[in-house]
């Protein structure tokens, strides 16, 4: 998987449904231990809550887990997970805390409430795309700088740092989907530029 969607930041959201209080807690994660630590921290903080329902999805080993935490089976954890799936999210965890308000919501009401809570939490956290990119550094003469930057922009390449020395050194992050970047630079600089590429790529955020 060279690109994926995840939540941008940790966030919370809250609403009341028939006197029951629902609080969603959202966190970007990268491994299962982080999800479990987050879930346990919410359970500890909201120890007096009626339920602490959770769901999380990880790219690693395609892990998907959920818990109804005492709510009727299929009314809490699965709806939360389904919201994440519909948003195509991964590397994210949602814990929804519920304080029972005295009025039963019924199975359908619970599904709607946990679905709403998860969606509100995701909206509060925001969604970003992660794209796998390779880093290139290009050393060239100053007069060629504008041509190279324009070519990179046309290809959808992301500009990075610039170092000004006897020559100019441009850093670019090239998405895995972009082909022919090096050849294009060689062509427009007539082979006068020095191009180096990091062997390992990395994921970057794209809003």
Tell me the mean pLDDT per 10 residues along the chain, length 207: 93 96 97 97 97 96 95 96 97 98 93 97 96 95 94 92 93 92 94 92 85
Q: What secondary structure letter does DSSP report for 154?
A: H
pLDDT of residue 82: 97
Residue 56 has which token pair? 């999380």
Same domain for 141 and 95? no
Question: So what's the pLDDT on residue 41?
Answer: 97
CB atoms within 10 A of CB 102: 7
94 plus 143 within the same structural domain = no
End of a domain among 69, 90, 125? 125
Predicted local confidence at residue 207, as pLDDT: 67
Residue 89's nearest CA partner among 61, 115, 132, 59 is: 59
CATH of the domain at 139: 3.30.70.240
Q: Domain end: 84, 106, 125, which one?
A: 125
Can you give the pLDDT at residue 199?
84
Q: Are 119 and 149 members of one domain?
A: no
Distance between CA atoms of 119 and 76, rounded to whole angstroms?
A: 13
């Amino acid at each position: 998987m060279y690109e994926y969607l995840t939540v941008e930041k940790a966030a919370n959201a809250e609403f009341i449904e028939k006197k029951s209080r629902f609080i969603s807690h959202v966190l970007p994660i990268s491994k299962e231990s982080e999800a479990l630590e987050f879930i346990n921290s919410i359970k500890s903080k909201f120890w007096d809550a009626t339920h602490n329902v959770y769901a999380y999805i990880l790219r690693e080993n395609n892990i998907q887990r959920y818990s109804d935490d005492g709510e009727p089976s299929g009314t809490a954890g699965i709806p939360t997970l389904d919201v994440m799936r519909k948003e195509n999210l991964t590397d994210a965890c949602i814990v929804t805390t519920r304080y029972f308000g005295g009025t039963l919501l019924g199975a359908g009401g619970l599904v709607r409430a946990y679905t709403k809570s998860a969606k509100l939490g995701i909206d509060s956290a925001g969604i970003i795309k992660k794209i796998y990119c390779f880093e290139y550094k290009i050393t060239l003469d100053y007069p060629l700088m504008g041509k190279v930057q324009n070519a990179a922009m046309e290809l959808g390449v992301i500009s990075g740092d610039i170092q000004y020395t006897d020559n100019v050194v441009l850093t670019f992050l090239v998405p895995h989907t972009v082909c022919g970047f090096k050849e294009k630079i060689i062509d427009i600089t007539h082979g006068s530029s020095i191009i180096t590429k990091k062997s390992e790529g990395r994921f970057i955020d794209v809003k």
